[in-house]
A and B are shown apart, each in its own frame.
Chain A
C-alpha cells in the first residue's frame, strides 16, 4: 500500500489535482465536493450519465466556470483561472463536443486563429501551414492543411481541434464526449491518435458514457453520479458491469436477453425502392426488404448511406421515385404520414428535436402528436383536455418520465426523458409496425437499457420492427436479421448469431456478403 493522503498517492506525479470542488447553479448542486486525480501521462476517463456533472467539472478546470469551493492544482501548482486563456497558458487544452471552427477558413487558418503566425505586421500563411504540417506529422494527425473546414469530414475536423490545442502548447488535453459524432472507424482512428499522444508524454482526460470505449482506451476511471464521485478505479482491475453500477446506482443489464420467438406473417414490405436526397441525387437505390410480425430487422450502416432517406420514404415524409411499399397487405406507396399512422405505423425518428418533439409544447401535447385529431383527444374539432392530461399522467408513470411534470415544455426535459416522451407516444399508438431510428443516440446507460427492453417488449407483442442504428452493438443485441446498407444499396443479409462485428464492418465499408464470406 503506497503512502496516501486523501486519495493522493505521494509517489505519483499528478498533472491535475482537483480537491473538494463544489459548484452550485440555481436549484442544482452540479458538483458536490468532487476530487479528481489525474496522473501525468495517463489517459483518464471521466464517466457518468448525462447531468452527472462531468462537463461542469471540466469547464472549471478549463477556466470557463469558477468553483464555489475547492482547489485546483496543475502540475503541482495551485491555480485560479479567470478564463480559458490562463488555462491555456498552463498547458490545458479542451476539445468541446461541438467544434469551435470557422467553416469557411482553411485548416491551417483555423489552427492559428487567435495567435497567428506573423511576418512583421502581416499574417504569415506559409509559416502557419508549415507549423500545422509539422504538428500533424509529429503526432500522426492526418489533415489536409489547405482544405476548408466545411469540406472535410467530422473526424478530420476533430483532428483539427486537437492540433489547435497542441499548437497552443497543451500538455493536458480534455476531450468532451469525443466519439459522440464519430463513426466506429473514425473512433478507432481517434484512439490510435490518443495512444500516440500519450506515448509522447501528454496527459489526456476523456469524458464519455460509452463503457466499451472507456475500457479500451483509459488507464484510470473516475465515475460520477449526481454531482458526486462514486468510484475511482484502475481500468485493468475493473469491468463494464462495475462501472455501470457506479454510474447508475444499481445493477444494469448491458446486453438485454432476447427470447426465442418464431415470427409471424409479413406485415411490411419494400420492393425495389428508389428515393432521392435533398440535392436530387439517388440516395436509396433499389432496396427491397421484408419485416414479419414479432420480428426485429436491423439495418446497419455508417451515417449518410441512405438510411435517413429510406426511413423518410417509408414513413411518408419523402417522395418515392420508384418501387412499392406494402403495409398490412395494402400498397401504401405515396400515402401521407397521417394515413400511415392511422393504419398503425409508428415512427421513432433519428432526430428527436427536429422531428420527434415540439419543444415549445408542453409534454402532454407532445404525447398526443399524431393522434391529436382522433377520439378521445379530439371531439368535433375541440381538444379534450381531460383525456389529454390523463393520457400524459398514465404515460409519465408507465415510462418513468422525469420530472413528473406533464405541463413542462418538451424542450426543458433532459435528452433521455425527451426520448422517453417520443417512445411513450409512439408505443401508445398500439402500432402494428414500427420504424425505429437511432433510438439510443446520446442516451446514457440506464436509459439505453430501458429503451432496449421496451423495444423487445414490442417484439413480444408481435409488432414488426425495422431498426436503423449506427451502433453495431445495438443492432447485434436486438435484431433477428441484419441488413447492411452502403451507398443506398443492401450489401447483404445475415443473422447476429451467424456473423461477426468484423464481417458486418466490412459490409458497412462497401463489400458484399459474398466477398466477405469468402
Chain B
C-alpha cells in the first residue's frame, strides 16, 4: 500500500484506535484492573441501551460541528484555535435572541435562532481573519485572545444582565418556539434533532470543498498561497471568508446546544468542546466524513467512561486513549512525509 494512497487515510486512524486501546489496556493492567472488564463497561456505557446511545449522540453533535469548523480552517490554511470562543458567542447570541422570540411560530423562530448563532460565530472568527489579512497578525494568537474575551463576556452576561436563579450562572430559558424538537425522548433524556443538522452541515462542507469554485479557491489558498494569488485568487478575501465559515460552524454548535440540549445559556455550556474540535479534525484527517466518525468515537469514549468508572477504572484512561490516537495520527503524517520524501530523493 502506498503511503499517499486514499485507503491509507482510512486505515491509519482505525489502526491508531486499535493500537491506542491496546496500549491503554497495559496501563489498566498496571493499575491492577482487568482491561476486558473495563472495555466491556466502556462499550456498555456508550451503546448499552437506548439511553446510552442517545447520550452518545447528544455528545457527538457539537463535536461534529466544532470538528468541521477546525477542519475547514485547516483545509483553507488557517489554524482556527478559537472554535471555543466562537461556539460561546454563537450560544450566547442565540440565547439572547431565542429568549425574545415568544409568539413567533417555530418555523421562523428555529431557523432565525440558528442563523443568528452562526452569524455570531462567523463574525467573531472573521475578526481574527480580517486582522490576519490586513495586518498579518497570526490567527492562533488572535483567536486565543478572542476565546478569553468570549468566555468573560458570557460569564458577565449570565451573572449580571441575563442572570436568573441561583447556583450555576445561567440565563432564562429561550422561548418554547425556538427550541429544537427532540428526535426521541427516552425517559428524562431528550435526544436532540441537532444531530441531523450536524450531518447535513458535514455534507454541505464536503460539497463546498470538493464541488465548488469556492472550495477550489479555499484549498488552493491553503496549499500554496503564492500560487493561488498568482492564479488570481485574493488571499486576504479568502482568509477572512474561510475564518468566517469556520466560525459559523462553531457558532452553530453553540446555538444547537442551547436550542436542543440546555434550552438556556449556562456558564459551563461549551466545556472545551471547541478545543476538542481540534482533536476531532486531526483524527478525522480534516475530511467531513472522517470528522463525523472521529466525533462519534470521542463522544462514545466520553459517555462510556462513566460506566468504566463504576468498575473501578478511572475515567481519565480515555484521555490516555484519546492522546495516543492523536499522537499516532500525527506520527503517521511524519512517517508519510519521510516516506514520500525518501521516494523523491531516490528518483
Contacts and interface: CB of A to CB of B under 8 A. Distances in A.
Interface string A21-37: 00001001010000000
Interface stretch (B185-193, B223-231, B272-280): B223-231
A357 B227 CA distance: 6
B317 to A, nearest CB: 37
Interface in B220-256: 220, 223-224, 226-234
A359 B232 CA distance: 17
Interface stretch (B47-55, B136-144, B206-214, B318-326): B206-214
Contact of B231 (A30, A337, A382): A337
A99 B263 CA distance: 64
Contact of A317 (B212, B215, B229, B346): B229
A358 B224 contact: yes
B347 interface: yes
Given A355-B226, A358-B224, A382-B211, A370 B216 contact: no
Contact of B230 (A25, A28, A355, A365): A355
B231 A372 contact: yes
Interface residues of A, number: 30
B240 to A, nearest CB: 16
A28 B347 contact: yes
Contact of B347 (A25, A337, A378): A25
Contacts of B219: 361
Interface in A369-419: 369-370, 372-373, 378, 381-383
Interface residues on B, range: 20 to 34
Q: Of residues B213, B214, B226, B347, which shows the largest number of chain A Cβ atoms within 10 Å of its Cβ?
A: B213
Interface in B126-177: none
Contacts of A67: none
B286 to A, nearest CB: 13
B230 to A, nearest CB: 4
A382 B207 CA distance: 9
B214 A358 contact: no
Contacts of B216: 365, 372, 383
A357 B234 CA distance: 16
A341 interface: yes
A349 interface: yes
A360 B232 contact: no
Nearest to B346: A25
A279 interface: no
Contacts of B231: 337, 341, 369-370, 372
A164 interface: no
B223 A358 contact: yes
Contact of B211 (A30, A315, A338, A383): A383
Interface string B88-117: 000000000000000000000000000000
A287 B224 CA distance: 30
B217 A381 contact: no
A280 B149 CA distance: 36
Interface in B311-339: none
A68 to B, nearest CB: 13
A361 B213 contact: no
A356 interface: yes
A236 interface: no
Q: Of residues B223, B227, B346, B347, which shows the largest number of chain A Cβ atoms within 10 Å of its Cβ?
A: B227
B297 to A, nearest CB: 27
Q: Of residues B211, B229, B231, B233, which shows the largest number of chain A Cβ atoms within 10 Å of its Cβ?
A: B231
Nearest to A368: B216
B211 A51 contact: no
B212 A382 contact: yes
B229 A370 contact: no
A518 interface: no
A138 to B, nearest CB: 35
A317 B217 contact: no
Contacts of A358: 220, 223-224, 227-228
A359 B220 CA distance: 10
5 contacts: A357-B227, A358-B220, A370-B230, A383-B211, A383-B213
Interface of A: 25, 28, 30, 51, 315, 317, 336-338, 341-342, 347, 349, 354-361, 365, 369-370, 372-373, 378, 381-383
Top 10 nearest A-B pairs (CB, nearest first) are A338-B232, A369-B231, A370-B231, A378-B213, A355-B230, A360-B223, A337-B232, A358-B224, A358-B227, A358-B223
Given A30-B346, A361-B220, 12 more contacts: A25-B346, A28-B347, A337-B230, A354-B226, A369-B227, A369-B230, A370-B232, A372-B213, A372-B217, A373-B213, A373-B217, A383-B211
